[in-house]
Amino acid sequence: MRATPESPRMFEQDWLDALSRTPWWTVPLVWIPLSAASLGYGLWTTASPPLAVGAGLFVAGWLMWTFMEYILHRTFFHWIPNDTWGARMHFLVHGVHHDWHQDPYRLVMPPAVSLLLGVLFFGLFTAMFGALGHPDFFWTFYSGFLLGYTFYDVSHYAIHHLKWKNGAFQRLKKHHLLHHHSPRHKDRKYGVSTTLWDHVFRTY
C-alpha cells in the first residue's frame, strides 16, 4: 500500500511504510475469529465455568479492555520521553494519529503490533487466573477482552469517517474529536469506545 496525499509517508523504507498502513476491516477479520474460538473453548471444554459465570467473565474481559484502552491512551500514548528519541517515539506510537487524524489507514493498530500485544496480555491473564486457582476461567474472559479491543479499533475508525446520525454514536464522536481539536480537552477525554473511565477518573 503506497503513500498518498491522504496517507503520507511515515518511513523511508517502502516495505516498512507499507506495513504502517492498515485497512479497518483487517481488525475484525483477525480478531473476531480468535475471540469466538476463545469463547467456544472456554464454554464447551469440560473444565469450563457454568454459562452464567462465563457470561460474567466475558463482560469482565470487555470491561478490562476498556480500562486498558483508557490507561494506555492516557499514559503511554501521550508520553514523550525527555530524550533525543522521545519525540520520534511518541510520533510513531500516537503522534502520527494526531497529526494525520483523517488518514484512513492509520486509525487502527497494525496486526503485527496488536498480535504482539495480544500475546503479552495472553500471558499476563493466564498467569493471573492460574494464580487465582481458576485457569479454566481464562478463556471466556480473554474472549471478551479481544472483542472489546475489536470494538475499540472499529469504532475509532467509524468516529473519524462515518456520519452516522445515531445519538449515542454522535456523543462518542464529539467526545473523541474534542480530545483531538480542543486545547481545553487535549489532556482529557481519553476513552474512545466508551466514556466510562473518563467519568471514573474525572477526565471527562
CA 5-3-28 angle, 5° bins: 105
Pair 153, 24: CB distance under 8 Å: yes
Contact in structure between 19 and 115 (CB atoms under 8 Å): no
pLDDT tens over the chain, length 204 residues: 665 656 667 777 877 777 778 899 999 999 999 999 999 988 887 666 677 888 899 999 999 999 999 999 999 887 777 777 666 665 666 556 666 677 878 888 888 889 999 999 999 999 999 999 989 899 999 999 999 999 999 999 999 999 899 999 999 999 999 998 898 998 999 999 999 999 999 999
pTM given for the model = 0.88
Left, alpha or beta for 202 (phi > 0: left; psi -120 to 50: alpha)?
left
